[in-house]
Amino acid sequence: MKFKSISLHGVMRNTTLMVLASTLLVACGSERQLLSNSQEPDPVVVDVPIAYVKRPLPVDENGALITDDLRQPFAFLPGAAIYIKPRASASALETNITDRAFFSAEEIAQTSAENPLAGYDVKDMEVSYDGERLLFAMRAPEIENADDDEQPTWNIWEYDRITDDLRRVISSDIVAEEGQDTGPVYLPDGRIAFSSTRQSGNQAILLDEGKPQYQGLDEGLDEFASVIHVMDSDGTDIAQISYNQSHDLDPTVLSNGKILFSRWDQAGNNDSINLYQMNTDGSGLEIVYGRHSHQSERTNQPLQFVKTRELEDGNVLSAIRPFRGDSIGGDYVSIDITNFIDNQQPINSQQGLAGPAQVPVLFDNITLDGSLSVGGRFASVYPLWDGSGRVIFSWSQCRVFDPDQEVVEGQQRTILPCTDELIATPDIEEAPLLFGLWFYDSLAQTQLPLGVPTEGIMFTEAIAMESRPFPQDAQRADEFDITLADANLAKVHIRSVYDFAGIDVSEVGISVLADPTQVPVLQRPVQFIRVVKSVSIPDEEVRDFDNSAFGRSRAQLMREIIGYVPVQPDGSALFEVPANLPLALSLVDIDGKRVGARHQNWLQFAPGEVKTCNGCHSQDSELPHGRIDAEADSINQGATGTGSPFPNTNPALFADLGETMAQTTARINGADYPNPNLVFEDIWTDPANAAPAESFEYAYGDLATPLPVTTACATNWTALCRIQINYPDNIHPIFEIPRVVLAEDEITVLADHTCVSCHSPVDQADMPRVPAAQLDLSGTPSTDDPDHLTSYRELMFNDAEQELDQGALVDRLVQVFDGNGDPVFERDEDGELILDGEGNPIPIFATVNVANSMSTNSARASARFFNQFDNGGSHQAWLSKAELKLIAEWLDIGGQYYNNPFAAPAN
């Protein structure tokens, strides 16, 4: 068995583990476990108290293991308890500190194996910096005959080992039960950070938006999303600080004061848990590690990063395991987050540095694919902070049943430690897991038992209650604007949207784009940024609606739009956004159509935060992005002088050294707040060189159909306003509104461009006909799905071509021919021809496919629709620019049938 402690202390290099100078195979029933009798207690460690969680091995009524799922952090497995030993020694007496929370001293005294206490559950221990207090999550025993929503929730508890006091941090029963609270950690200022489903910030926003308050589901619509909150040490002043739409779990505090946590990225086509960090007010959110590091030769399932904590050398200890494994436990690695953003991708300043960034902390022969793991399995690893490189870990040794033993009913089977020979034995059977608690000293190369393994019992967590240095206090963003904070706003500065991880992706270069004499302003590929907001989806108790409400695809769930801001010629943008919202940014062209892929990771900005990023990124690129200290330098170095304009631009817009064009215009004209309309104004062209391009505005006020904004927001756009597009309310009416072209007398009809005047199955005389272009835009319930209007199904789904047959609309059938051009006939299951009554083979006919005109991918992917309205198209100018912009933005955010769960019909 190979040991690796490079990441813990840097003193070992792939040396073979010597358990001790001599070892004994000690029988424990029929199993054998390596123990030691040749090592005196370590004089340093014996005085370090340790706390650990001990529970029955989770098995079902058939004896099969119950494995946990990282996506279900509130699972309840009763029977756990926390024990404390005054010293890190197997012989030290253990004390149960959690039974008293639910049972009297008399009840505890009467406990026996035959008469156990009702089970509660406990997990997620964390020690205070002085080593005197212990935080953890605990759930009370099940309430008999109570409904699921009446059962206890996970609560945060604290134990003081000096005073022997145990308390629930949130004293109020009502407040404590408002959410599932897990993963607590002490902040440097004495507050507590934890993960919770209470979503206090989200619910306040919902109320501001005129919706009922509710807890939103994760993006898989399975569990309430659990995100990071903070509270005072007495359980008051609870505040949400992370706004992911799926789980943010396992917060821990780094020495720089930032909160490191595991974020489940599940937006769109994402589905992985990566490491993120932020300040204690939620500002400075950025990915730290893992986006392209989930594949491993050790398993055919992607590995996720959870249960992290910082090591003394600045690396991060992390458990790695699939979302749901075939067994309990996994492996632990040390990750060099200082120099790497992915396992094989160093940060930009360390290019050339060879990976991997993550290396096993202990054994390097752990497998995670469900097969026998020669190195056993780890349930937890905790490093000491005394400079020794020592760790406490819960570990189950690899064990198998003796293949040579004849299996006799009722007879105990012999269990053997794994060997290469045994593992190679065909149909070898793994013995039940046996988790013991161990102490490893990398300097002395010793492994000592702290909790002797017992069949049917496992140690799931262990922690040393030792003091360690206080981290710094990273309370808020480096750049902070009190005026913005008072308005619950933040500010974003993008140096260039053409900067993709340090690469200029513009065709001509940003210096050329920035010069209006070389590239006319209307020809720039990106003109605006669209700010998009996620919509939290309630559970069926709050709003029960059918999946058809999402439309053709559920991938984007529901979305709202905050508005649009201009992009300056050099690709820069500086704008304000509402704080404490899950936001995404899309690049938009002059017609309001998205350029490039969707932004599928949720951004957030704390009140008063001023955040600068270099540019954008592609999901396919593995170059460092999203972490400011890992990225390449910006391609936009800004103005080269002070007090003069950018080359060949309007001299009224004079620049300061290093400013981007967005910084210049914000300094002179003020920062932009997202506008619901597309508003274009050419401020950069120098009138002395050329006439500025004509200004325009594609405004909702120009629509003759119902607006996707409230009446109040239509007249006064504020940070609480949202663009909310529902197909039956906002898109379909465009196809029914009269579009009659009259002669000069305003009576004679020259043409009728009303969409349904041609795109419907009956003419003005109510006679059947084939809809124009095989596209029926009627507002009747669809025969394919009555929850959708016919127009939606016809636009979004493939259909069969139709024809008139004796006055009735029917699907057109054509004869099927094979690749050689020969007709295809019906055959039976044996391949023999099926003949008609006259003895002739029966030809096969098939419908003719009509492709959908629109795509939920984007407006640009819906060219079959939009091309008709372009210059030279058959429907040129039949729809207004404002109408086309509305349809484009609706498609860009997913083409949902509804984007408001409370607009969807209730079941």
**CA 529/CA 674 separation, integer angstroms:** 9
In the chain, the amino acid numbered 461 is E
Arithmetic mean of pLDDT over the chain: 91
Between CA 361 and CA 374 the distance in angstroms is: 16
- In the predicted structure, residue 21 carries a pLDDT above the cut 60: no
Residues 6+ away with beta carbon under 8 Å from 597: 618, 619
Strand partners, 737: none
CB atoms within 10 A of CB 674: 21
Express as a percent the part of the chain with pLDDT over 90.
Answer: 78
Burial class of residue 870 (count of CB atoms within 10 Å of its CB; 0-12, 13-18, 19+): middle
pLDDT score recorded for residue 517: 94
* CA dist 243 → 226, 287, 577, 579, 695 (Å): 9, 14, 14, 10, 37
Q: What sign for the dihedral angle of Cα 699, 703, 707, 713?
A: positive
Instruction: Please say whether the beta carbons of 120 and 140 come within 8 A.
Output: yes
Give the C-alpha separation, 404 to 416, whole Å.
Answer: 11
Closest CA to 534 of 280, 199, 289: 199
Residue owning tokens 């995670």:
368
Beta-bridge mates of residue 358: 335
| The token pair that represents 699 in the structure block | 């405004």
Q: How confident is the model at residue 618 (pLDDT cuts 50, 70, 90)?
A: confident
| Secondary structure E strands in 8-146 | 23-28, 31-36, 50-56, 81-85, 95-96, 121-127, 133-139
Separation in Å, CA 312 to CA 257, 318, 383, 739: 14, 14, 8, 72
Q: What are phi and psi of 667, to 5 degrees?
A: -65, -35
The amino acid that residue 167 corresponds to is R
Query: What is the number of helices (H) and of strands (E) in the chain?
Result: 13, 50
Helix (H, G, I), strand (E, B) or coil at 751: strand
> CA-CA distance, 351 to 339, in Å (whole number)?
9
Cβ partners under 8 Å of residue 303, min gap 6? 294, 295, 296, 320, 321, 322, 368
What's the CA gap between 315 and 844, in Å, rounded? 67
- The model's confidence at residue 742, banded by pLDDT at 50, 70 and 90, is confident
pLDDT higher than threshold 60 for residue 442: yes
State the Cα–Cα distance between residues 553 and 269, nearest whole angstrom.
12
Of 382, 305, 378, the closest CA to residue 126 belongs to 382
Count of positions (residues) in the chain: 907
Q: Which DSSP symbol is given to 773?
A: G
Identify any residues that bridge with 584 across adjacent strands, giving them in sequence order: 532
3-state secondary structure of 655: strand
Query: Which of 58-72, 281-295, 888-902 comes out lowest in average pLDDT?
Result: 58-72
Alpha helix locations (H) across 17-163? Answer: 105-109
Instruction: Fill in the DSSP letter of residue 361.
Output: S
Q: What are phi and psi of 483, to 5 degrees?
A: -65, -45
The β-bridge partners of 83 are: 52, 96
pLDDT on residue 828: 92
* Residue 259 · residue 252 · CB < 8 Å: yes
Confirm if 813 and 823 have CB atoms less than 8 A apart.
no
pLDDT level of residue 567 (50, 70, 90 thresholds):
very high
Give the residue from 741, 798, 808 showing the smallest Cα distance to 775.
Answer: 798
Mean pLDDT calculated for residue range 358-383: 90
Q: Where are the domains of the chain?
A: 23-397+434-464, 477-739+902-907, 744-892
- The predicted pLDDT at position 88 comes to 87
- Cβ atoms 599, 571 nearer than 8 A: no
On the CB side of 222, CA atoms within 13 Å amount to: 11
CB 438 within 8 A of CB 446: no
Quick check: 535 pLDDT over 70? yes
Q: pLDDT tier at 116 (50, 70, 90 boundaries)?
A: confident
Structural Rg of the chain based on CA atoms: 33
3-class secondary structure per residue, 128-192: CCCCCEEEEEEECCCCCCCCHHHCCCEEEEEEECCCCEEEECCCCHHHHCCCCEEEEEECCCCCE
Backbone angles phi, psi at 417, to 5 degrees: -65, 150
pLDDT at site 112 = 74
State pLDDT tens for residues 448-481.
899 999 999 999 999 999 999 999 988 888 899 9
Asked whether the beta carbons of 8 and 440 are under 8 A apart, the reply is no
Q: Regarding beta strands 399-401 and 415-417, do their DSSP bridges make them parallel or antiparallel, or are they unpaired?
A: antiparallel
CA distance 309 to 380: 11
Given a contact cutoff of 8 angstroms between Cβ atoms, the answer to whether 155 and 123 are in contact is no
Stated pTM of the model: 0.92
pLDDT at 117: 83
The band of 441, judged by pLDDT with boundaries at 50, 70 and 90, is confident
Q: What are the pLDDT digits (tens) for 857-885?
A: 999 999 999 999 999 999 999 999 999 99
| Contacting residues for 861 by C-beta, under 8 A, at least 6 apart | 855, 891
pLDDT, one tens digit per residue, over 815-832 is 999 999 999 999 999 999
Which residues neighbour 470 within 8 Å (Cβ) at sequence distance 6 or greater? 129, 188
Q: What is the DSSP string of 228-279?
A: EEEE-TTS-S-EE----SS-EEEEEE-TTSPEEEEEEE-STT--EEEEEEE-
| Torsion, CA 150, CA 152, CA 155, CA 160, rounded to 10 | 140
pLDDT for 764 equals 87
Average pLDDT over residues 609-615: 94
The secondary element (H helix, E strand) that includes residue 562 is strand 559-566
**CA triple 133-385-35, angle to 5 deg:** 95
**Cis, bond preceding 356 (omega within 30 deg of 0):** yes
- Give the helix/strand (H/E) hosting 54: strand 50-56
Q: How confident is the model at residue 304 (pLDDT cuts 50, 70, 90)?
A: very high
Q: What is the mean pLDDT of residues 179-188?
A: 97
Report how far apart, in Å, the C-alpha atoms of 128 and of each of 158, 186, 241 are. 10, 6, 21
Half-sphere exposure of 846 (CA within 13 A, CB side): 11
> How far apart, in whole angstroms, are the C-alpha atoms of residue 625 and residue 620?
12
What's the whole-number mean pLDDT along residues 766-788? 95
Q: By C-alpha distance, which of 309, 317, 322, 251 is closest to 68?
A: 322
Indicate if the pLDDT at residue 46 is higher than 70: no
Handedness of CA 303, 307, 313, 314 (dihedral sign): positive
The top-level CATH class assigned to 23-397+434-464 is mainly beta
Specify the DSSP element, H or E, that contains 890.
Answer: helix 881-892
- How many CA atoms does the CB half-sphere of 81 hold within 13 Å? 20
Note the pLDDT of residue 13: 30
- Could you tell me whether strands 610-613 and 489-494 are parallel, antiparallel, or unpaired per DSSP bridges? parallel
Q: Give the C-alpha distances (Å, rounded to integers) separating 351 from 286, 348, 632.
A: 20, 5, 10
Q: What is the pLDDT of residues 238-287, one digit of tens each?
A: 999 999 999 999 999 999 999 999 999 999 889 999 999 999 999 999 99
The DSSP 8-state label assigned to residue 15 in this structure reads: P
